[in-house]
Structure 1
């Protein structure tokens, strides 16, 4: 049993695992924990983030299938509807402002030929859970092992047990620190000649200590140097979907606003959804969809919230004959960031252009979001 499965099953044992609502809270808690771990590590690449989310999604589907009865062959699998009014009361998540973006897991409808025939597939929640998670066990993915592909459930502990375990760790830390200080002191004493006898002392004039110029330093192995955040993405072959330089392919309903603006972060399109929750639509050209047909594509929305007003955005897609992208939700903070989602397109010829609709404030409080760019790349 791998770490992901063990963590989720341990969390399920803390409540009524037969209750589907409880299981869903546990799954959402696992996704939220993974997001926090990824956000705490800005060096995680897009490819690694997608693989980690897919690993948890696959494990959740495997666990959830054990709670569903087998059914006879029916037609193609129909995806569950997008989150509606009931989702507004879903559990809350804690998301850092500087987090790399969280990638949503739901995608276009699965072809009938690929649908399983022996068991109903479970519904796996979006990568961004709802606002609250009452009653769900806490899941921690802050450790390197857990953020790689597993999750650790943080069980309740008695305060006296915690105090008892801190004492050995404190003693070990103190001992190691003391030994390190003694070692440094001995090394310094040997270098300065404290232990030398009078006969061994060097009476020659002191020489200037050698120095190392910054420009002379060359790493032994440049390949092992850590990659800067976003450096891997620079090599991607991005296809532009939207740029503030051409806002003519943006449609805003009567109660919504879209304005091209510029500040020290660069030009952007500030969108603000209306009181009805209407979204602003960005055109995806037919030529772009023809390049994506039959391919696995990753969309990237580069955005940040209006100053002092963090918000939650929702994203929906309509690619015509090529399907959609499911409904996505992201927490957008004050820092310019990338919000990614992937889509597996069917091998069809699109008959028309498509759209990506963005609601700037899922809570309908009139908050705005700045859109710097929308782009897409094809996965190899």
Structure 2
């Protein structure tokens, strides 16, 4: 009877030692997380989803440089605030001037601030303000400077309980243009009429500006 060859005891011992070492290595590898995924290893709190901060819609009352004229949407329903056909709702300080004039461009009110820098105030009727309560309104001042006398004007508003519009500055040339600004009105009843005050020359050099009309519409 022929017997198969037996493995030497030394070889059996070496194989058993290697198997034991491999088993111990696998055990420690599992305990230390070698085979875990990146997601399984990340035990910290979940990162918040990035969000965009809401844009600040507030506008500075008076920027470093004057604003440029815009173009009003003629399709909107405009509410008249001032017309040179009725200058009785304009208040002129003693050192300022306001005269109704007319040329081939139409009728206008030529205003000139005094040397003190006093502004000419245009009434905004309480009935007009009542239509703007709780609304986003767009004001439009149609104006030009005297020929050859470009100027910088400032605009301030006093709407009583409804607030103001901040101080605006515009560079006004001789070409008739529209100078726009918007106001978000609170949802509260106006206690009285308001005013829009215009300084025709913030450099106080006596330059005048022609006001064709002031109007307002509800922005969509």
Q: TM-score, normalised by structure 2?
A: 0.71
Partner of 1:279: 119
Shift of 1:130: 3.7
Q: What is the alpha-carbon distance in structure 2 between the residues aligned to residue 367 and residue 311 of structure 1?
A: 7
Partner of 1:129: 64
Structure having the larger proportion of residues in strand: 2
Q: What is the alpha-carbon distance in structure 2 between the residues aligned to residue 316 and residue 243 of structure 1?
A: 19
Q: Give the match's secondary structure for 1:235.
A: coil
**2:181 pairs with one of 341, 356, 366:** 341
Cα–Cα, structure 1 residues 260 and 125, in superposed 2: closer, same or farther, change >3 Å?
A: closer
Q: What is the alpha-carbon distance in structure 1 between the residues aligned to residue 210 and residue 174 of structure 2?
A: 10
Q: What is the alpha-carbon distance in structure 1 between the residues aligned to residue 147 and residue 140 of structure 2?
A: 22
Listed as ranges, the gaps of 5+ residues in structure 1 are: 1-57, 63-104, 107-123, 132-228
Shift of 1:354: 0.3
Partner of 1:318: 158
Q: Number of paired residues?
A: 164
Partner of 1:169: none
Considering only aligned residues, what root-mean-square deviation do their CA atoms show, in Å?
2.1
- Which has the higher relative contact order, 1 or 2, with Cα contacts under 8 A spaced 6 or more apart? 2
Q: Deviations over 1:33-67 (max 9, x none)?
A: xxxxxxxxxxxxxxxxxxxxxxxxx4xx69xxxxx
Cα contact 2:61–2:167 (8 A) shared by 1: no
**1:248 pairs with one of 50, 70, 88:** 88
Q: What is the alpha-carbon distance in structure 2 between the residues aligned to residue 346 and residue 234 of structure 1?
A: 25
Listed as ranges, the gaps of 5+ residues in structure 2 are: 1-54
Q: Give the match's secondary structure for 1:269.
A: strand
Cα–Cα, structure 1 residues 125 and 298, in superposed 2: closer, same or farther, change >3 Å?
A: closer
Map 1:136-175; keep pairs closer than 5 Å.
none
Cα contact 2:154–2:201 (8 A) shared by 1: yes
Q: Deviations over 1:84-135 (max 9, x none)?
A: xxxxxxxxxxxxxxxxxxxxx63xxxxxxxxxxxxxxxxx574x5248xxxx
Structure having the larger proportion of residues in helix: 1
Shift of 1:234: 1.9
Partner of 1:264: 104
Q: What is the alpha-carbon distance in structure 1 between the residues aligned to residue 154 and residue 147 of structure 2?
A: 19
Q: Deviations over 1:231-274 (max 9, x none)?
A: x7221000000000000000000000000000111100000000
Alignment partner of 1:350 is 2:190: yes
Partner of 2:133: 293
Q: Give the match's secondary structure for 1:363.
A: coil
Map 1:38-77; keep pairs closer than 5 Å.
58=55
